[in-house]
Amino acid sequence: MPLLNEYRTLLDQLAEADAPSLTEMPLEAARAMFRVAQPTRPDIVVGSVSEREIEGRNGSIPIRIYTPDSTGPHPITMMFHGGGWVIGDLETVDAQSRQVCNQVGCVVVAVDYRLAPEHRFPAAAEDCYDATVWTYENASHLGADSTLLAVAGDSAGGNLAAVVAQMARDNEGPPLVFQLLVYPVTNGHVFDTDSYRENSDGYMLTADSMHWFWDHYADARDRSNPYASPLCATDLSNLPPALIQVAEFDPLRDEGLQYAEALQAAGVETQSRCYEGFIHGFFSHFDTVPPTRVAMDDACMALQNIFHNERK
């Protein structure tokens, strides 16, 4: 299927602007650019929004808690932002957190994990896991149900959601009921898949930027660790059910689908969906690029279904 017309227009405008690439920018400029590209959305009104800092093994972790305007206790979705572990924060994940909170009717806990290269692997993964443990242990104070806890994220956030699911299993941690992995990064060793070759440049996320992200995040020797590259795990059994969503025009398409296949082979109930005509980043485009709304609807329906079935 051809690229969506809305994306073609957007990409043409970016090409005409001839702005420096992400990899050519100072870190703070790249982070600022990402905030502009993914602004907060207070117009998506939820019941309440609160911020706090919790204690993790490595110090304080800022979180933002979105609560629906309905009677609890509510299910919980942990939300880990994208940005290659290098850019992104609570602001850039605000829109999708609000939308999931409202559409699913769940508490959403967004995590402001430490960024690379100031804090390299496994800092981000440890912060996300510690925040998940804290949320599980304090669910009643959030008006939430600790038995209905899911992890979610897009891109690097999808990587972290997959990693937290493995960590929870390996450490007898919170009993997660679902993992929503949106165009997740799953393998830091392989950059020659069909999707990398077909979509290396010109579709927002580039092959060069993925190398840049990985080089900032993890040393070569660490990339075989499944907590960095979840596809490298030797055992994927006994993980929570998953939905993996990928875009047709995305370097990460194939490794996301490979992770879905590996989960299925390990006996994990897993669905995967490749959205034709989409590019990387579609999860935050649900109301700016209208055709992508189907992916948000699919994600929220999957969360609703699992929460409903587990509540029975």
Does residue 224 have an active-site annotation? Answer: no
95-130 pLDDT per residue, tens: 999 999 999 999 999 999 999 999 999 999 999 999
Give one DSSP letter per residue of 231-291, joined into a string. Answer: GG-S--TTPPPEEEEEEEE-TTHHHHHHHHHHHHHTT--EEEEEEEEEETTGGG-TTTSGG
In this prediction, residue 54 carries a pLDDT of: 98
Strand 178-182 to 242-249 pairing: parallel
**Annotated catalytic residue within 74, 81, 216, 280:** 280
Neighbour count for residue 298 (Cβ, 10 Å): 16
| 55 CB burial (10 A radius; 0-12, 13-18, 19+) | exposed
In this prediction, residue 312 carries a pLDDT of: 60
**Annotated catalytic residue within 155, 195, 229, 284:** 155
Q: Are 41 and 49 in contact (CB under 8 A)?
A: no
Name residues of the chain where pLDDT drops below 70: 312
Tokens linked to 1: 């299927």
Does residue 201 have an active-site annotation? Answer: no
Domains in the chain, start-ordered, CATH in brackets?
5-311 (3.40.50.1820)
In this prediction, residue 20 carries a pLDDT of: 87
Tell whether pTM > 0.85: yes
In this prediction, residue 291 carries a pLDDT of: 97
Tokens linked to 207: 């092959």
> Among residues 168, 297, 188, which one has the least CA distance to residue 245?
297
Strand partners, 51: 64
126-177 pLDDT per residue, tens: 999 999 999 999 999 999 999 999 999 999 999 999 999 999 999 999 999 9
Does residue 155 have an active-site annotation? Answer: yes
**Annotated catalytic residue within 145, 250, 284, 285:** 250
CA distance 162 to 169: 11
